[in-house]
Structure 1
Amino acid sequence: MKNSVLTTRLSYTASEVAGQLIFCVVSFYLLKFYTDVYGISAAAAGTILLLARSVDAIDAPLWGILFDKTHSRWGKSRPWFLWLCVPFAFFGVLTFVTPSFGAMAKVIYAAATYVVCSILYTGINTPVTSILSALTGDTHERITLTSFRMFGSKLGVLIVNLTVLKMVTWLGRGNDRLGFMLVMPMYACGTVLLYLLAFRNLKEVVTSEKHRLSIRQSFAALHGNGPWFIIFFSSFFFWIAFVSRISAAPYFFQYVLRRKDLISVANSLDVISLATIVLLPWFCRRFTKRTVWVASLAGAIVSQVVIQAGVAESSSAIVMTGWSLGFLTSGVAMAIPFSTLSDSVDYGEWKRGVRAVGLLTALGAAFCLKAGSGLGGALPAWILSWYSYVPNVEQTQRSLHGIELSFIWLPALCYALAAIPVFFYYRYECLELRIRKELEQRRSMATAISSSV
Structure 2
Amino acid sequence: MSEITQKLSVKEKIGYSLGDLAANLVFQTLVTWISYYYLNIYGLKSEHASLLTLVVGLVAAFGFNPVMGAIADRTKSRWGKFRPWILWTAVPLGVVALLAFRTPSFAYQGKVIYAVITYALLLMLYAANNLPYSALSGVITGDMKERNSMSAYRFVAVMFAQFFVQVFMYNFIIKAGGGTDVESMKVGISKVMTVLAIIGTIMLIICFLTTKERVIPKPEQKSSLKEDLADLFKNRPWVIMLIVTTVVFITLALKGGSYVYYFENYVDKGELSAFLAPFKKFLPTFENDTSLGLGVFNGGGILVGLVGIMLSQTFANKYGKRNVFMVSLFISTLFIIFFYFIPQKSIGLIFGAQILHGFFYGISTPILWTMIADVADFSEWKNNRRATAIIFSAMMVGLKAGLSIGSSLVSWILGKYHYVANSTNGQTDTAINGTKMLISIYPAITFLIAVALLFFYEIDKKKEMQIENDLKLRRAD
TM bucket (normalised to shorter chain) is: over 0.9
Q: Does 1:14 align with 2:23?
A: no
The answer as to whether partners of 1:69 and 1:212 remain within 8 angstroms in 2 is no
- Aligned partner (choices 463, 470, 475) of residue 431 of structure 1: 463
- Aligned partner (choices 398, 412, 426) of residue 382 of structure 1: 412
Q: TM-score, normalised by structure 1?
A: 0.93
Aligned to 1:31: 35
The structural deviation recorded for 1:139 is 0.9
What amino acid is the match of 1:273? G
- Aligned partner (choices 31, 36, 48) of residue 44 of structure 1: 48
The answer as to whether partners of 2:321 and 2:460 remain within 8 angstroms in 1 is no
Q: Which segment drifts farther, 410-419 or 261-270?
A: 261-270
Which structure 2 residues correspond to residues 219-230 of structure 1 after superposition, within 5 A?
219-230=229-240
Q: Which segment drifts farther, 190-199 or 436-445?
A: 436-445
The structural deviation recorded for 1:159 is 2.4
Aligned to 2:128: 123
The structural deviation recorded for 1:349 is 0.8
What amino acid is the match of 2:33? Y
Q: Does 1:169 align with 2:178?
A: no
Aligned to 1:308: 340
What amino acid is the match of 1:125? N
What amino acid is the match of 2:244? S
CA 1:274–1:443 in 2, change beyond 3 Å: closer, same or farther? same
Which structure 2 residues correspond to residues 156-195 of structure 1 after superposition, within 5 A?
156-174=161-179, 175-195=184-204
Aligned to 1:133: 138
Q: 2:50 & 2:375 partners in 1: Cα distance?
A: 33
The structural deviation recorded for 1:429 is 4.2
Aligned to 2:309: 277
Q: Per the alignment, in what secondary structure is the counterpart of residue 317 of structure 1?
A: helix
Q: 2:218 & 2:384 partners in 1: Cα distance?
A: 10
The answer as to whether partners of 1:82 and 1:199 remain within 8 angstroms in 2 is yes
- Aligned partner (choices 55, 58, 67) of residue 54 of structure 1: 58
The answer as to whether partners of 2:319 and 2:461 remain within 8 angstroms in 1 is no
Q: 1:134 & 1:2 partners in 2: Cα distance?
A: 10
Q: 1:171 & 1:146 partners in 2: Cα distance?
A: 34
CA 1:212–1:99 in 2, change beyond 3 Å: closer, same or farther? farther
The answer as to whether partners of 2:311 and 2:363 remain within 8 angstroms in 1 is no
Aligned to 1:335: 366
What amino acid is the match of 2:436? E
Q: 1:377 & 1:60 partners in 2: Cα distance?
A: 19
CA 1:438–1:4 in 2, change beyond 3 Å: closer, same or farther? closer
Aligned to 2:272: none
Q: 2:52 & 2:67 partners in 1: Cα distance?
A: 21
Q: Does 1:292 align with 2:324?
A: yes
Q: 2:73 & 2:459 partners in 1: Cα distance?
A: 28
The answer as to whether partners of 2:100 and 2:119 remain within 8 angstroms in 1 is yes
Q: Does 1:372 align with 2:402?
A: yes
Q: 1:209 & 1:375 partners in 2: Cα distance?
A: 39
The structural deviation recorded for 1:82 is 0.5
CA 1:89–1:289 in 2, change beyond 3 Å: closer, same or farther? same
- Aligned partner (choices 256, 262, 266) of residue 297 of structure 2: 266
The answer as to whether partners of 2:257 and 2:407 remain within 8 angstroms in 1 is yes
Aligned to 1:255: 265
What amino acid is the match of 2:199? G
The structural deviation recorded for 1:107 is 1.5
Instruction: State the Cα RMSD in Å.
Output: 1.9
Structure 1 gap ranges (5+):
446-453
Q: Per the alignment, in what secondary structure is the counterpart of residue 342 of structure 2?
A: helix
The answer as to whether partners of 1:228 and 1:341 remain within 8 angstroms in 2 is yes
The structural deviation recorded for 1:370 is 1.2
The answer as to whether partners of 1:172 and 1:179 remain within 8 angstroms in 2 is yes
The structural deviation recorded for 1:438 is 2.1
The answer as to whether partners of 1:157 and 1:271 remain within 8 angstroms in 2 is no
Per-residue CA distance 1:333-353 (angstroms, 9 max, x = gap):
332120011111111111112
Q: Per the alignment, in what secondary structure is the counterpart of residue 7 of structure 1?
A: helix
Question: How many residues get paired?
Answer: 443
- Aligned partner (choices 215, 220, 227) of residue 217 of structure 1: 227
Structure 2 gap ranges (5+):
270-289
Q: 1:258 & 1:33 partners in 2: Cα distance?
A: 24
What amino acid is the match of 1:177? K
Q: Which segment drifts farther, 175-184 or 88-97?
A: 175-184
The structural deviation recorded for 1:277 is 0.6
Per-residue CA distance 1:153-175 (angstroms, 9 max, x = gap):
00111123343223222221221
Q: 2:165 & 2:333 partners in 1: Cα distance?
A: 26
CA 1:214–1:345 in 2, change beyond 3 Å: closer, same or farther? same
What amino acid is the match of 1:228? W
Q: 2:240 & 2:75 partners in 1: Cα distance?
A: 27
The structural deviation recorded for 1:53 is 1.9
